[in-house]
Structure 1
Amino acid sequence: MTIYFYSTREKYGCFSNFSPHGFELDGFYWPTSEHYFQAQKFVGTPHADQIRQVKTPKDAAKMGRERSRPLRPDWEQVKDDIMRKAVLRKFETHADIREELLSTGDELIVENAPGDYYWGCGADGSGKNMLGQILVEVREILRLSNQQ
């Protein structure tokens, strides 16, 4: 069975970067993993802090996509690792959602995002599903750290 997620209001909504599970990382508190991810596009600039402080993850996403802001030159090379770092910290921080992720066993996890062919599966299922792949990796890391 494959586990699909997208909306924070559905089952497995905690897998979404918009889920309200904040954490501390790099010396700051981040309201959502979306806030962290979008801010890292402008790390070391005032834009990063502006994004960190906006009210909703939707606002953070919108700001992160504004090309009037100076995108860091290595973004394409570092974005997967930044997402991995944020998702791992989120699930390390919150025991309830960590248990939910671990309870998925060895199932494939897919972000059912019709408009996103990189992080999600896209409208026709041909997307890379990088967020789903990262959730599977994080599940394995958490499983191994539970055995210590």
Structure 2
Amino acid sequence: MPIEFYSTKSAYGEFSNFAAFGFHVDGVWYPTSEHYFQAMKFEDEEYCEKIRTTKSPMIAARLGRSRKVKIRDDWESVKVDVMRKAVQAKFAEHAKLRDLLLETGDEPIIEAAGRDYFWGAGKDGSGQNWLGKILMEIRAELQQSKVRIQ
């Protein structure tokens, strides 16, 4: 049975980029994976810092979607890797999240985002579900490392 998530208030909401599980990347603290992802869209260091330090992931998302500041030229080619780095860092820093991810077994993980056909499944389920794919990749890595430890 597929594991679906979207809202931070629903089952598996911890998997959402808006969930309040901060982490470090390159010695810098990000309050959520949304903060990290949105900040990485830009080369303007001041703007990146504004996104990183904003009080909520919703505001970080809004700032990241603005085109008042130019996004990086290579954004489309690196965005999946940027998301993967964010999610890896988030799960590396929180044992509770790793355990929750491992508890999903081998079930498909789907971001049930009705309006997002890239990161989520979209309204009709035809989306690419990249966030779900990344979570399943990380789960597989965790399962492999657990097997090696035992």
- What band does the TM-score fall into relative to the shorter chain? over 0.9
Pairing of 1:1-148 with structure 2 (within 5 A): 1-43=1-43, 45-146=45-146, 147-148=148-149
Q: How many residue pairs get matched?
A: 148
Per-residue deviation, residues 41-90 of structure 1 (Å, max 9, x unmatched): 01452111110000000000000000111100000000000000100110
Contact 2:109 2:135 in 1 (8 A): yes
- One-letter amino acid of the counterpart of residue 106, structure 1: D
RMSD: 1.0
Separation in 2, partners of 1:83, 1:94 = 17
Q: Which runs of 5+ in 1 are unaligned?
A: none
Q: Percent identity?
A: 54
Normalised TM-score (structure 2) = 0.95
Structure 2 residue runs without a partner (length 5+): none
TM-score relative to the length of structure 1? 0.97
Q: Take 1:145 and 1:38, find their aligned partners in 2: how far apart are those partners?
A: 30
Amino acid at match of 1:41: K
Pair 43,25 (structure 1): closer, same or farther in 2 beyond 3 Å = farther
Conserved? CA contact 2:43–2:71, under 8 Å = no
